[in-house]
A and B are shown apart, each in its own frame.
Chain A
């Protein structure tokens, strides 16, 4: 019998989760950036800039942006690594990847864009100086396997950055719940005509491991010196770990 996993608050067969997540992102791809700005009040831009500032990138470095979607991080990474560096934009979802690739092309940039599964990365061992996954790990079926893959493709000394929704500061939790389960689906309905996808977003955030759990998962995957920093009272956390 197929093992089950969570898809938001629902339990689904592991083999079905990827397809269900794909449906969500096919549905929201064209309005993804607009919704991000609306939902976070533009804060997601600051969270991403903070993550890039912690990447320690220098010209000539090689970066892998896993689940990079509409290329928000890829664009920032490219500024850091310059012409001598390389940034791979990857996503399992073609609609999202196409949005990101087209956006990069419109800006005159042509980084390699690869449609691939974060749990089975088509890259050699010890290859990248930095791997990032921003708001993507939450949607992966086997997070431990994905982290192990990211560890494999990092060169020794390289770092992984995981930017993801996390556990909000307790006193703010009631207000955050109200916002997530009432306002988000309403905004999804009004702007993207897709309340279900934004209901999934709220639910998947609650099902995602908290700060300490994710830190333990990264350490179990082989990362050293794992630390995290809460952003906006823990709405989002940036985890950083190194391959030794």
Chain B
């Protein structure tokens, strides 16, 4: 219940923030859309005003299913990854949904403004955007460094087992040298 309610509320909020998006969907008023997320299905009907309205549906006009490719690409490619979803149903409705989904963009600054004021909302949004960009940059740099380390530097660095073997060889050499010194001392004593 909660998830369907949140999806409905979230989608409608984004639709209202995107000029023309709800109007585009309103041309398909009455059509039924199913988001089939493997573990759960969420059914919506497009209302007269172009918003999504949770509804019991027998036969959907359009079904949208996520694919493994979408899930892998989503964190990196964002909305572009939505193209990897599996779409089936009425082509005209799917075409509109595709266009509308690519148009959706969360205007966080507009949502924050009534709570904290315009100036603070702008700064918070900028801070959040910079922080996210910084985190993205850090993750990207870490990935590059890690891959470079794995590909290039691991071959130049001694492994733990090699270091242990070398230490053992040094110990053996030290023992041999000590034995030889003892033997030399004994021979020198005999010669004297």
Contact with A along B35-74 (1 / 0, CB 8 A): 0000000010101010101111000000000000000000
Say how far B3's CB is from chain A's closest CB, in angstroms: 10
Q: Are A56 and B1 in contact, CB atoms less than 8 angstroms apart?
A: no
Q: Are B56 and A53 in contact, CB atoms less than 8 angstroms apart?
A: no
Q: Are B53 and A53 in contact, CB atoms less than 8 angstroms apart?
A: no
Say how far A93's CB is from chain B's closest CB, in angstroms: 30
Q: Are A229 and B2 in contact, CB atoms less than 8 angstroms apart?
A: yes
At the interface, yes or no: A240 with Cβ under 8 Å from chain B? yes
Which one of A53, A54, A60, A238 lies within 8 Å of B49 (CB-CB)? A60
Most A Cβ at <10 Å: residue of B2, B12, B54, B55: B55
At the interface, yes or no: B9 with Cβ under 8 Å from chain A? yes
Say how far A151's CB is from chain B's closest CB, in angstroms: 14
Contact with A along B1-45 (1 / 0, CB 8 A): 110010011001000000000000000000000000000000101
Contact A228-B1, Cβ < 8 Å, known A53-B9, A56-B9, A157-B45: yes
The SS class assigned to the A binding surface is: strand
For A, the interface residue count at a CB cutoff of 8 angstroms equals 16
* Neighbouring A residues of B2 by C-beta, 8 Å: 54, 229
At the interface, yes or no: A159 with Cβ under 8 Å from chain B? yes
Q: Are A53 and B5 in contact, CB atoms less than 8 angstroms apart?
A: yes
Say how far A131's CB is from chain B's closest CB, in angstroms: 15
Q: Return the chain A residue nearest B55 by Cβ.
A: A157
At the interface, yes or no: A242 with Cβ under 8 Å from chain B? yes
The SS class assigned to the B binding surface is: mixed
Interface positions, chain A 145-185, Cβ under 8 Å from B, are: 157, 159
Alpha-carbon distance A227/B41, docked complex (angstroms): 14
Alpha-carbon distance A58/B45, docked complex (angstroms): 14
Alpha-carbon distance A240/B53, docked complex (angstroms): 14
Q: Are B5 and A56 in contact, CB atoms less than 8 angstroms apart?
A: yes
Q: Are B5 and A157 in contact, CB atoms less than 8 angstroms apart?
A: no
Say how far A238's CB is from chain B's closest CB, in angstroms: 7
Contact with B along A203-244 (1 / 0, CB 8 A): 000000000000000000000110111000000001010101
Interface positions, chain B 101-133, Cβ under 8 Å from A, are: none
Q: Are A159 and B54 in contact, CB atoms less than 8 angstroms apart?
A: yes
* Neighbouring A residues of B9 by C-beta, 8 Å: 53, 56
* Neighbouring B residues of A56 by C-beta, 8 Å: 5, 8-9, 12, 53-54
Contact A224-B56, Cβ < 8 Å, known A56-B9, A58-B51, A60-B49: yes
* Neighbouring B residues of A240 by C-beta, 8 Å: 1
Interface positions, chain B 59-108, Cβ under 8 Å from A, are: none
Alpha-carbon distance A159/B51, docked complex (angstroms): 16
Alpha-carbon distance A229/B6, docked complex (angstroms): 13
Q: Are B54 and A58 in contact, CB atoms less than 8 angstroms apart?
A: no
Contact with B along A41-60 (1 / 0, CB 8 A): 00000000000011010101
Q: 4 smallest A-B Cβ distances: which pairs?
A: A225-B56, A224-B56, A54-B5, A227-B1
Interface residues of B (CB under 8 A from A): 1-2, 5, 8-9, 12, 43, 45, 47, 49, 51, 53-56
A229-B1, A242-B55 known; 17 other A-B pairs, CB under 8 Å? A53-B9, A54-B5, A56-B8, A56-B9, A58-B47, A58-B49, A58-B51, A60-B49, A157-B45, A159-B54, A225-B56, A227-B1, A228-B1, A229-B2, A240-B1, A242-B56, A244-B56
Would you mind naming 20 contact pairs between A and B with Cβ atoms under 8 Å apart? A53-B9, A54-B2, A54-B5, A56-B12, A56-B54, A58-B12, A58-B47, A58-B49, A157-B45, A157-B53, A157-B55, A159-B54, A225-B55, A227-B1, A228-B1, A229-B2, A238-B1, A240-B1, A242-B54, A242-B55
